[in-house]
């Protein structure tokens, strides 16, 4: 593992950065992230690489070219991770101080949601604050360099390459600024952008027209890149899910192959031993076309037979495996709460496993956001409104029954059919209505007087 101290010890940092990129691409976390991306696209690598083989008389395995080879892949991986991510971040995050969200930019929730998903499927991702907005550095494009003593992120290398015949571009991020490079054919490294600070302090002349009189480079108290982990385990969600997903997809694909290879109806012809393969093929074609067969000689018979592929055991196993995946991941199977008769209490109980995993995930989100806020000297904590299916009628009745003890903002936040973004605008309109109502009443009273 390369550390910040190793990076500081070298004299040729651009050359060392290229070596870091090569080592990073060979690491387990990088390879796991690439595999996770394939599963996220519903490309099951295990199923795609599976080839049915048979053994020859000599005991040698050979590919069975006669067997069907359906490759079916399910979408459990994307579904589970999307549910966990959107459950916490689907409504964005809010802060105690409304000015905090404004400073983070209008795209903050979008970038954070994208980063949250990457953190889950890759185990970790990185948030970069550019001075004006938030960016997400995927683990497949960023090499972190941690301090050996404190464990803090002190430097890093972001890289990208559009194709194998295109140049490798990389940026070295350090505490005192960043530098951009390009690797030409032959391995020559060219500096594209000299080191520059992360922000610029601008002094202007106080006139009607803003005139810049001085620009002073300025940096943050730490490197403006923060690690964002998907859970306390700091590993991809694929690590524990993959064996079960592979088993499910292989059984499903095997069942499809059996259905394809199995002739549902076949014919047994007796007393026609003299028929050649050509005669049999012609007989079958006529039978399929005319649906009539004639036995010419005594003892000649044509009997149809049907086959039923065994499916009960497979269905039971697939259902068991599906339920186990939902249970292990802590995901919510909406079919378990689809009944209209479900009470709010029963629905809340169904969310318990998802809530427990969401708590762990949200702690990671809070830690990452606080790292960004610390760069901006902001003391605030993000708040979440989780996406839930609910018995809305019952939930609304419960909130309204407590309304006399609650303020207006709390009531609106608790209503299941009101989103977080709508609360402020609703309160503003209600205040204007009350204000107009007061003026109207005063005018009526004055006129009556």
408, 429 Cβ separation under 8 angstroms: no
pLDDT single digits (tens) 167-204? 999 999 999 999 999 998 888 999 999 999 998 766 66
Tell me what the mean pLDDT of segment 4-31 comes to: 95
Ramachandran quadrant class, 171 (left: phi over 0; alpha: psi -120 to 50; beta: rest): beta
Higher-pLDDT residue of 380 and 342 is 380
Range in 14-23, 144-153, 203-212, 231-240 with the lowest mean pLDDT: 203-212
Q: Between these two residues, 37 and 59, which has the higher pLDDT value?
A: 37
Hey, how many other C-beta atoms are within 10 angstroms of the C-beta on 419?
Answer: 15
Per-residue model confidence (pLDDT) at position 124: 97
| 28 band by pLDDT with thresholds 50, 70 and 90 | very high
- The helix/strand count (H/E) of the chain reads as 15, 16
Q: For 238, how many CA atoms within 13 A lie in the half-sphere containing its CB?
A: 27
Q: Is the pLDDT of residue 73 over 60?
A: yes
Percent of the chain having pLDDT more than 70? Answer: 79
Judged against a pLDDT cut of 70, whether residue 393 lies above it is answered with no
Q: pTM for this one?
A: 0.77
Residue percentage of the chain with pLDDT more than 90: 49
Give the sheet arrangement for strand 124-129, strand by strand: 134-137, 124-129, 225-229
Q: What is the pLDDT at residue 300?
A: 72
What is the predicted pLDDT for the residue at 352?
A: 87
């Amino acid at each position: 593992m390369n550390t910040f101290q190793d990076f500081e010890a070298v004299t040729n940092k651009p050359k060392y950065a290229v070596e870091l990129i090569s080592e990073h691409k060979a690491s387990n976390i990088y390879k796991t992230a690439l595999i996770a991306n394939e599963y996220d696209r519903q490309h099951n690598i295990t199923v795609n690489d599976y080839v049915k083989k048979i053994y020859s008389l000599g005991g040698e395995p050979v590919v069975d070219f006669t067997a069907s080879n359906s490759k079916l892949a399910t979408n459990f991986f994307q579904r589970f991770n999307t549910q966990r991510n959107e459950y916490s971040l689907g409504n964005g995050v809010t802060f105690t101080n409304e000015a905090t969200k404004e400073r983070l930019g209008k795209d903050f929730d979008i970038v954070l949601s994208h980063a949250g998903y990457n953190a889950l499927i890759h185990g970790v991702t990185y948030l970069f604050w550019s001075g004006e907005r938030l960016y997400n550095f995927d683990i497949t494009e960023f090499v972190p360099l941690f301090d050996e003593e404190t464990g803090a992120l002190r430097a890093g290398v972001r890289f990208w390459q559009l194709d194998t015949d295109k140049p490798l571009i990389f940026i070295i991020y350090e505490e005192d600024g960043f530098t951009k490079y390009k690797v030409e054919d032959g391995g020559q490294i060219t500096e594209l952008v000299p080191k520059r600070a992360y922000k610029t302090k601008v002094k202007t002349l106080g006139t009607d027209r803003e005139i810049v009189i001085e620009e002073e480079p300025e940096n943050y108290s730490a490197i403006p890149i923060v690690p964002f982990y998907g859970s306390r385990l700091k590993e991809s969600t694929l690590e524990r899910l993959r064996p079960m997903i592979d088993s499910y997809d292989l059984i499903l694909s095997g069942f499809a192959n059996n259905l394809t290879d199995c002739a549902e109806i076949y014919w047994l012809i007796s007393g026609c031993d003299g028929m050649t393969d050509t005669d049999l093929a012609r007989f079958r074609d006529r039978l399929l076309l005319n649906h009539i067969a004639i036995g010419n000689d005594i003892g000649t018979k044509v009997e149809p037979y049907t086959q039923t592929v065994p499916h009960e055991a497979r269905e039971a196993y697939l259902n068991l495996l599906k339920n186990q995946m939902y249970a292990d991941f802590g995901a919510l199977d909406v079919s378990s709460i689809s009944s209209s008769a479900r009470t709010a209490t029963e629905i809340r109980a169904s969310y318990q496993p998802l809530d427990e995993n969401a708590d762990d995930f949200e702690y990671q989100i809070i830690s990452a956001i606080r790292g960004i806020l610390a760069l901006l000297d902001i003391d605030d904590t993000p708040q979440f409104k989780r996406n839930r299916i609910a018995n809305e009628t019952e939930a609304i009745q419960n909130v309204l029954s407590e309304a006399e003890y609650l303020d207006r903002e709390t009531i609106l936040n608790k209503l299941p059919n009101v989103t977080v973004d709508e609360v402020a605008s609703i309160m503003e309109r209600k205040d204007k209505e009350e204000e107009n109502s007061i003026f109207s009443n005063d005018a009526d009273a004055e006129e009556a007087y």
